[in-house]
Chains A and B, each alone.
Chain A
Amino acid sequence: MPSCRTKFLPVIAASFLAALACQTGAAEPIRVLILTGQNNHNWKETTPKLKEILTASGRFTVDVTEHPEQCDAATFARYDALLSNWNSWGKAGVTNWPAATREAYLDFIRGGKGLVVIHAGGSSFYDWPEYQQAAGASWNLGQTGHGKPHEFTVKVVAEHPVTRGLEPFKTTDELWMRPGVQPAAKVVATGEDQPLAMATEFGKGRTFTLLLGHSAAFMATPGFQTLLLRGAEWAATGNVTLSATVAATAKLADPDTVLKELAAYRFGDNRQPILNLEQLAAAVSTDPAAKKQLAAKLVGLLASGATVEAKQTACWQLSIVGSAAEVPALAKLVADKELGYPARLVLERIPGDESLAALRAALATTTGEARAGVINSLGARRDAKAVAEIAKSLTDADAMTAGAAMEALGRIGGAAAASALMAADGKVPAALETRRSVALLRCAEGLQAAGRAKDAAPILEKLCRANQPAFIRIEAFPAWVATLGDKGEELVLTALASGDRTKQTAAIRALRHTRSPALVMGATERMKTLPADLQVQVIVLLTERGDTAALPVIADAVESKEPVVREAALAAFGVVGNDAIVSFLAKRAENATDDEKKIIVASLARLRGGGVEAAMIAELKQPVPAVQQELIRALVARNAKSALPALVEAGRGENAGVRKEAIAALGKLGDKTTCGPLLAMLESSPAAEAALVAICRREGTLEPVLAAFEPAATEKKVALLGVLGGVGGPQALETVRGAMKSGDAPQRLAAVRALAEWSDAAPLDELAALAAATDDPKCKAFALRGVAKLAPLAKDRPPADVVALIARAMAAGGGVGERRALLGALGNFHGPQALKAAEACLNDPELAAEAKLAVQQIKAGGQAGRAHAGPAFTDEVVKLFDSPDNLAHGGKATNLDGLAPDGQGQPAFAAIDGNPATYWDETDNQGLYWIRVQLKARATVACIRILGFQHHNYAPKDFEVICDGKVVKKIGGAEYKENLLTVTLPPTECEAVELKITGYYGKSPAIRELGIYGKPVAAQ
């Protein structure tokens, strides 16, 4: 059906373009002038296509000239970019341009604007070198050639704005071989290794050359369009904002072929025929004629000898493209064991009376599961006409059918369905009674919503009777009450007082729905007679109503004997209360339990209204410590800066607990102005140090602390050094270093202590030096502990240096505690030096436990490895890769498969980084993975070892080992031993080793370490 083929393409293209367009935002449109009018290709077709593509993106406005030779600087000045679809090949009419045009053309690009060259658009003026340079690439007679147009994969080969983020994609076009590429042109994409897209900087301007686009049909492909649009945008502006997403090229084969391929499909076969049909169905769905045609062909397949799977697939697509015309054919299949369900899917989805009539008719011809399914579908469609027929199934001996009928009637609703369900009284097995009740409830509520409360009332009354399940009674009661008016209110109050838990729960549910304040008040008066948990429910719903009239009831509940009721009431105050409640709530804190205190604080923190904070501050003056502490916590939660003066005062108060709380609060709420009072409290209250640190860090200033430092006496300086240590940063470091030089011993010690607590690794070296130099045991201890704390923070230094520094510190003669801390720090590193240092302590009884842990951690690969420790790799195996024989060390690993890293996987370098915790891993389920290791120097290679991800899970299985392009070994079905594979190779001298992996365990071949060796090594 070739006519369809041409129709489909615009559908895809148009939606694709629309999607691109919507990403462009409000940027100024780029003005493009297409140069055309002669070309050894069909320019009369391609030019409008190019214009359509550019315009539809919304990013460009386009003019066309068929006489570039008539243009001059003034013409070009109106544009941001030129697009050449013009050449002087063959029997061209114009073979030269006037000097003014030639000059204007080059000046235009050189001056900072853009040129886009399409396919043969640059193949002119071979004796004009600047023209050739500007064009980027052109047909080079005697060198360039091409085969027939065919499908190939376009790959990005260079980092460039045009191709950034572009995944490899398939396209069909004429592919040039060996085009004449200008030296200054950067090839950014290739197909079958042939350059096909180039970017050239020319003067201040840019050229984008795209050798694709042999004809208008090939220009319709999404890949061409993506490259064209992004390339044109870059040429004109130097930037790219358009999407790099290439819409999948729909393989829109002819429907007959698609269906023929599908006809033989069986489960487990390649799903391509299904995908083809899905794409076809999606594409035709906006084209009524094509849709109708496809639907008819699908019905034809249903009647053919195609496989059941093929027919099921056809039905799924018919449910999208089908119409009333296909109903009769599908109706015949509803009773079919294998096709009944898919046929029903289609009928359920096709709108209109025909499909409903067919489903109703199917009630008479189906039994068992098929009939239940038909009933379900009629229920889903809410077909009121089916009620009478479905009702007959209510008493069906088959429970599945009867149950389906109940649910369908419940769903359809209405008086008729309700009567049918009511009439089944006594005729339904007990096991189905609950389902009938649920259906009745649905009908009744539907009737009620439709204003037919009178019809609903008897049903609901029935559902509230004691013989119904409790949850049905609870659900039906509020609805029933609502049908009864004032009488209903009586009923609710009676139920509340009944002592029957089900009735009480139902009554509270009714309260949730009532509009009557009187009823709510009546209910709250009876609240105390309810079980505690139901009282809580009432308090919750009073709170939700947000009614201040509820306050007295809630205040009453605060005095309840039941803790849960008291707590609910205290919480409720936070929502319905105001400033008047502050004093009451605060005073409750004095004798409250810990849980109650938390709730009181939360409520005080939530209270709304202007006067709340003032009331809390006033209350803070009452000298009751238990109350003051809770008030302070609530003020912090409120971010109540107005309380700062009151908190300063509390911070100077008599009670230690209140002082501590207030100072902590000052740390959280305070600003620069709070530093003064806090500095004054520094010697008397240790909490002030933490508060000052918090403020300085938050405000990003040390000024008040530094200002206080110089004039301070020793004792205060010691405290201030603590603050400086907590805040950190270069400014503080300077002052602390100054204090290190002080003649005053306590001050010096405080300075060391501050450095040991530093927030980054800046003082690491001086601490290490101090530890080695000092004789003062206290000072040494601080310095060593500082080294232990800061060493793991030195992320920007070579780990080997830091390990050496730790090792030296361990020899500096500290106590057991310090050496234990240093061992802990070692555990953050990996490699032989770290291991050696830790292992040296294994025999020291005082250190053995820490040393053992450190050894374990180091072997697991430092911090990064901890997450992967376990069966993935063993200690002995890890050592094999750390050997100096491993030629991969110092090499360079790259991937040649164009795939991106996947999940936690990293790029190829991770395979030879000596750290088995990291691994090379790429996109799952690909056909080819290809890694290349460039050796540091040419060497003989005789063996490789692979440490896979996790034994026979995510590891290379079938692969070739290639040395300098030559396959030296093929491995099929590799068998790992404890996650390690050793492959002996014929000794080969080479510069690079590649693995071309085509089979793998798991979903991709991840490699933790790849070792390359000059001599065969014994398999482990």
Chain B
Amino acid sequence: MNGDETNMNSSYPSRRQFLKRASVAGAALTLPNFIPSGLLGANAPSQRIGIGLIACGGRGMYESSCYPGSDKCQVVAVCDPWESKRLRAKQVFERHYAARRRSGAYKGCDAYADFRNVLAREDVDAVYIATPDHWHVPITIAAARAGKDMHTEKPLGVSIREDLAAREAVRRHGRIFQYGAERRSTTTARHAIELVLNGRIGRVQKIYVVSPASVKGPVDDPVLPVPADLDYDLWLGPAPWAPFSAARAISGGNGNGIFHIYDYAIGFIAGWAAHPLDQVQWWADNAGMGVPVTYEGTGRLPDDGLFNCLIQWDVQCRYKNGLVMRFMDNRTAQQQDIPGIRDSNAATFVGTDGWICVNYGEVQMNPPSLQNSIIGPDEIHLVRSNRAGGEYVEPHHMSWLDCIRTRQDPVGNIESAVRSDIISHLSDICVRTGRKIRWDPVKETIVGDDTAARMMTRARRAPWTF
């Protein structure tokens, strides 16, 4: 099915190879996520999955708020280099758990600055990693090597080699990895991709992927003393040292430097684009398409200011069979006439018989009657990760917990995460070098361009490595 599964170097057959054989034998093409609903019900505290929350910022606290209501798990440790953030998180979880006890008191969630202390705990079975991007892969790999399962926020890594290393670690250690692209845990998006896979819009002729771009940073960014509250060196971690400043390290929503400074991220070309790219990859993985092999296009970096990630791009990504995926920022997209693209963050599949546009929380399609089209039992079905109800974040985390118990691959598996993130990286490299980039999906490397190939890696500040 897929052409790029060569990275498993074990002598025994991998799980994926199994799947391949199984499908050849005519059995299940795609596996259902058949978690018994009661499997994890009424668990004694000792049976619960011990969770460590790594990074207690906005995203971390938002998504982890689904844990206390579940008896599948127990948050036993939180971690953040900001003392105030970790103490607040500890308080939040302890209050939640205290409220459910007869005594009304609970002390059992420990707070750490350093994630390594969380990974060292035996009662932590799994971690939710919601750090800035440059920490996603280092902690994912460290968690894999410590025998923990992980739910890692998107985008994946800050270089292609990081992505590949994360996959190697997750597979080598047999960990259950869930990618934080929660649109896969929605009924509408799943149905939309199933419609495309089952030929409801005919043959796919073109794909459009649109996302917000990074922004310009402040030109004037005074260096500030590091707050006593923060272990700044740990915050920087593998990234190059740079002086503390507000725009660099203090959260301010989507304008925060952690999203737009190349030392910590490659920008919204990965950070936001991860969502629609992930939807396309869901299709591509099941349609045997792999990732595009050539990338051509233009774009812009800010011409001043602290931030240095793409503020505009328009890249033609071509799959091996010639199919073109046009990947661009939403400003560029607004000048085009793309079916279904009204705003920012969507993927549109244009087929011979119609089109489908998958956005966050809504799907548009033509003909509109496709909405009522039921996918029959003999057609391709995608993993259904929100069987227990709900949409987005909560079922995404809950199905991950279920998979931890059954040792199944979650809906956002590592292979798919790596592939979709690679599209962001190759497009970024294409614009930064101003050249056509060729990707060898078997060797998983850029070919024919030494400079571009070097941009697949970046050394990490010691002692951090992968």
Contact = CB atoms under 8 A, between A and B. Distances in A.
A602 interface: yes
Interface in A325-355: 341-342, 344-345, 348-351
Pick the 5 closest A-B CB pairs, nearest first.
A471-B147, A546-B27, A165-B335, A567-B36, A373-B462
B173 interface: yes
Interface stretch (B272-280, B374-382, B392-400): B374-382
Interface string B387-417: 1000000000000000001111000000000
B12 to A, nearest CB: 4
A508 to B, nearest CB: 8
Contacts of A271: 219, 304-306, 308
Nearest to B222: A268
A438 interface: yes
Interface string A387-407: 000000000000010011001
A574 B32 contact: yes
A567 B301 contact: no
Interface string B18-60: 1100100101100110111111000000000000000000000
29 contacts: A19-B296, A19-B298, A271-B305, A272-B304, A285-B433, A341-B241, A376-B460, A380-B161, A408-B465, A441-B172, A445-B10, A448-B10, A449-B9, A471-B146, A471-B147, A475-B174, A513-B15, A515-B12, A537-B405, A544-B22, A544-B31, A564-B36, A567-B37, A575-B34, A606-B32, A606-B377, A637-B374, A925-B217, A1003-B215
Contacts of B435: 15, 286
A608 B12 contact: no
Given A165-B335, A380-B459, A567-B39, A482 B12 contact: yes
B318 to A, nearest CB: 9
Nearest to A513: B12
Looking at B13, B147, B300, B462, the one whose CB has the most chain A CB atoms below 10 A away is B462
B406 A595 contact: no
Contacts of A606: 32, 377, 381
A513 B13 contact: yes
B436 to A, nearest CB: 7
Contacts of A132: none
A286 B452 CA distance: 10
A451 B35 CA distance: 37
Looking at A16, A408, A434, the one whose CB has the most chain B CB atoms below 10 A away is A434
B434 interface: yes
A513 B19 CA distance: 11
A369 B462 contact: yes
A545 B406 contact: no
Contacts of B308: 271, 275, 278
A243 interface: yes
Contact of B459 (A165, A377, A567): A377
A847 interface: no
A268 B454 CA distance: 28
Interface string B226-251: 00000000000000111101000000
Interface string A487-523: 0000000000000000000001100111100000000
A211 B111 CA distance: 67
Contacts of B297: 19, 22
Interface stretch (A46-54, A244-252, A414-422, A581-589): A244-252
A377 B460 CA distance: 8
Given A272-B304, A567-B37, A536 B406 contact: yes
Looking at B25, B147, B245, the one whose CB has the most chain A CB atoms below 10 A away is B147
B107 interface: no
Nearest to A166: B335
Looking at B22, B36, B221, the one whose CB has the most chain A CB atoms below 10 A away is B36
Given A245-B312, A572-B34, A376 B463 contact: yes
Interface string A433-469: 0110010011001101101010000000000000001
Contacts of B461: 341, 373
A533 interface: yes
Contacts of B303: 248, 275
Interface string B108-149: 000000000000000000000000000000000000011100
A605 B377 contact: yes
Interface in A217-266: 243-245, 247-248
Contacts of B240: 312, 341-342
B459 A599 contact: no
Contact of B19 (A12, A275, A544, A595): A544
Looking at A16, A312, A438, A570, the one whose CB has the most chain B CB atoms below 10 A away is A438
Interface in B169-183: 172-174
B323 to A, nearest CB: 14
A698 interface: yes
Contacts of B457: 348-349, 380
A537 B298 contact: no
A321 B332 CA distance: 31
A479 interface: yes
B173 A379 contact: no
Given A282-B434, A349-B457, A373-B462, A571 B255 contact: no
A924 B298 contact: no
A563 interface: yes
Given A272-B304, A513-B13, A571 B32 contact: yes
Contact of A571 (B34, B172, B374, B375): B34
Given A19-B296, A513-B12, A606-B32, A568 B39 contact: yes
Given A373-B463, A567-B38, A602-B34, A16 B298 contact: yes
B314 interface: yes
Interface string A469-487: 1111011001100100000
B425 interface: no
A247 B174 contact: no
Contacts of A350: 454
Contacts of A598: 37
Interface in A512-563: 512-515, 533, 536-537, 540-541, 543-547, 563
A990 B222 CA distance: 42
Contacts of A451: 11
Interface in B322-354: 331-332, 334-336
B344 to A, nearest CB: 9
A581 B36 CA distance: 19
A572 to B, nearest CB: 7
Interface string B427-451: 0000011111000000000000011
A16 B436 CA distance: 11
A607 interface: yes
A472 to B, nearest CB: 7
B458 interface: yes
Contacts of A593: 38
Contacts of B331: 167, 900
Contacts of A449: 9-11
B434 A12 contact: yes
B316 interface: yes
Nearest to B216: A925
A471 B387 CA distance: 30
A308 to B, nearest CB: 10
Contacts of B299: 245
Contact of A270 (B31, B146, B219, B433): B219
Contacts of B218: 925
Contacts of B174: 474-475, 509
A125 to B, nearest CB: 38
Contacts of B99: none
A267 B27 CA distance: 60
A245 B332 contact: yes
Given A286-B435, A380-B465, 18 more contacts: A247-B298, A248-B303, A268-B245, A278-B308, A351-B450, A373-B461, A373-B462, A400-B462, A404-B462, A442-B172, A445-B172, A513-B14, A536-B39, A568-B406, A571-B36, A638-B376, A924-B215, A924-B255
Contacts of B374: 637-639
B316 A1003 contact: no
